[in-house]
Structure 1
């Protein structure tokens, strides 16, 4: 696009149980780290803006003026979206303000409860616990003010939370690009499907646990689960929702691995997961569920932005650097947004070599200040150590030879 532009209004939803009004925006204009973007929910492509264009759109929306011609042209080229040149920009796009907190992404565990009881689950014991509706809304306000543009809503199973439709709609209307991690069992329900159709997520990430009723129901320990899952897949596809299917291969369903992949590929993009982790409490129970023949070498850990530009919130509004490194955490409902300023220091501290990794030379920097050769995320290594897992599962050092 010309002038440095490259292709790459707000309504509170009903909190009273009444039908929710439709979304107030087609586009999101937002800072994202050091960039400025125009995005359209449910689509991959976007428009990257120079700062001056972002400022122009911000002023245009505030003044109630119509969209500039260059934005009309960009929307047509990027998404085939025909903006009305007479309509005020603020009726078409939500223009988000910059945030001094520097958070660009987050994940929100709306509720740990789940209608499945899968043996591989990293959450361990799953309880139906979470915050009341008003606190969920307050947490989302904090995330918006912190700069969060991309939000993953997860669980447990998020769609079984009785306040999911209102919570999801509120996050959408704040101007967030949303993804949902789900087992898909509730997707065919009218209140869920209508919410997601009116306010499309960027994509839904759905887990696949079997290709037949016997295997799927056995894995999830839930009779009728496979039927609900496939009905949800069909309903989501018919509604035009973008699906990403995550095939989970374990010792209980490995005999259907190829069939699960074929099922997943018939509905959307497919990814395969084979390695199980200990629970977040350091319980080794999920590890024996691995199918040995399908295990893959883990990708080397080369650092991440957890705690610096990303954070995780559990069902009680406790902010941590990620889903794995949950302690220390920050009680956002008590401390408010200022508490997020401490996350960067917590993240740096959690990556130090302590406990079972104390004295390890792989994690040390060399004389030039370059990072050491350790390829394991320290919080993840801690979970494996607490689970007393074999060292070869998470560490480059070989297990010591037994003394004879």
Structure 2
């Protein structure tokens, strides 16, 4: 009965939202979306407000994009309209709690304390994210699903018209209440981290006996429920010899697979995670070409402090104290953190650098060897 009530109260078929100077229509659980002009957005908004019929152009577009038949459906029940805001933030990530049921050796978090905002303030925070214009919300941790308020926070964010991505270790995906939550209110993406293909490698990196078995229970439950998962393969010295088996697991359970082999220090510059780097697996492919962090995207920690991103945490802004007005200061704070300092000042090879400035600063503070982050190694100034 609870699942039925959730569907009836919270479910919407589509979300229509401003995004910077554009207007988009998206559908929870679907990758495809559409961009529409302002006139169509205004027409749709008026139809929903008056609960008139869904415009014919949207009926046809929904049929083409998602094979969704909306004929005879109420526009107010089918479409959630996100209003325009004064802010330009379409995306955010939120560490609901840094606590974790694993103790991963490679983790970039300096501390993993289980603490954060009480439920009432979490509710206020989600409302502020909505009012800042956030459509795409990533909920992370620690392990977000172990927070006692995770399910309630997910429901509120979903009800507010957000496309939600969950970053998880998969250890609680097997729980019936978690499966039912994601079936009744589809996330945009559930992204599971894979730390090995066997109990030996997986449990060694996570430093938790039984961690691999918990993951496999979660993957099996998600597959049985036909949930769409993506997977991040975290390549380290513990599992590099199993890379083919890890890829096979990814193909079996996920619709999309990424690989990550560049291990970073903690965001405050502690070098401990660097010891897990797998020799020969440093990715040297992508040149850093800029980042919208602090301008169209921001990060929120468990206490409601906003920073440009998960790594660039200087001069945090307290949303709980300042409210949304504090976001007006964020672009300047972000720009200051993108300036080249230390050993990177005046580098003649900066045009081909592959590391953003906040991350490079963390590497420098950790006194990491150049080959672990500077693609020019000894040639860099």
User: Is TM-score (shorter-chain normalized) higher than 0.5?
Assistant: yes
Please, which of 264, 276, 279 is the counterpart of residue 292 of structure 1? 279
Question: In the alignment, which of 206, 211, 226 is matched to residue 212 of structure 2?
Answer: 226
Structure 1 CA distance for aligned equivalents of residues 196 and 354 of structure 2: 32
Q: Secondary structure of 1:286's partner?
A: helix
Residues 108 and 313 in structure 1, CA contact (< 8 A), matched pair in contact too: yes
Looking at structure 1, the residues matched to 163 and 325 of structure 2 have their Cα atoms a distance apart, in angstroms, of 23
Unaligned runs of 5+ in 1: 1-13, 364-371
Equivalents in 1 of 2:168, 2:16: separation in Å? 28
Q: Which has the higher helix share?
A: 2
Task: Say if 2:191 and 2:229, in contact at 8 Å, map to a contact too.
Answer: yes
Which secondary structure state, in structure 2, belongs to the residue aligned with residue 168 of structure 1? helix
**Is 2:224 the partner of 1:235?**
no
In 1, Cα distance between equivalents of 2:249 and 2:289: 33
Q: Does the alignment pair 1:209 with 2:188?
A: no
Once the two structures are TM-superposed, the CA of residue 102 in structure 1 deviates from its matched residue by 0.5
- Calculate the aligned-residue CA RMSD, in Å: 1.9
TM-score with structure 2 setting the length: 0.94
* Counterpart residue number, 2:28: 41
Distance 1:398 1:279 in 2: 21
Question: What is the match of residue 386 of structure 1?
Answer: 365
Aligned counterparts of 1:351 and 1:47: Cα–Cα separation in 2: 33
CA contact (8 A) 1:390 1:399 kept: no
Query: Secondary structure in 2 aligned to 1:215?
Result: helix
Identify if the C-alpha distance between structure 1 residues 220 and 395 changes in structure 2 by more than 3 Å, giving closer, same or farther.
Answer: closer
Match of 1:122 among 108, 122, 144: 108
Query: 1:278 — aligned with what?
Result: 265
Q: 1:176 to 1:69 in 2, by over 3 A?
A: same
In structure 2, runs of 5+ residues without a counterpart are none
Give, in angstroms, the shift of residue 47 of structure 1: 2.0
Contact 1:26/1:93 (<8 A) preserved:
yes
Matched, 1:349 2:336: yes
Deviation track 1:255-306 (CA, whole Å, cap 9, x = no partner) reads 2111111111111121111110000121111111111122221521110100
Q: Is structure 2 residue 356 aligned with structure 1 residue 377? A: yes
Q: CA deviation at 1:397?
A: 5.5
Q: Secondary structure at the match of 2:310?
A: coil
Q: Structure 1 residue 316 and structure 2 residue 308: aligned?
A: no
Aligned length: 376
Q: Which residue of 1 aligns with 2:174?
A: 188
Separation in structure 2 between the aligned mates of residue 227 and residue 361 of structure 1, nearest angstrom: 49
| 1:140 partnered with 2:126 | yes
Match of 1:326 among 307, 313, 318: 313
Whether contact under 8 Å (2:287, 2:352) holds in the other structure is: no
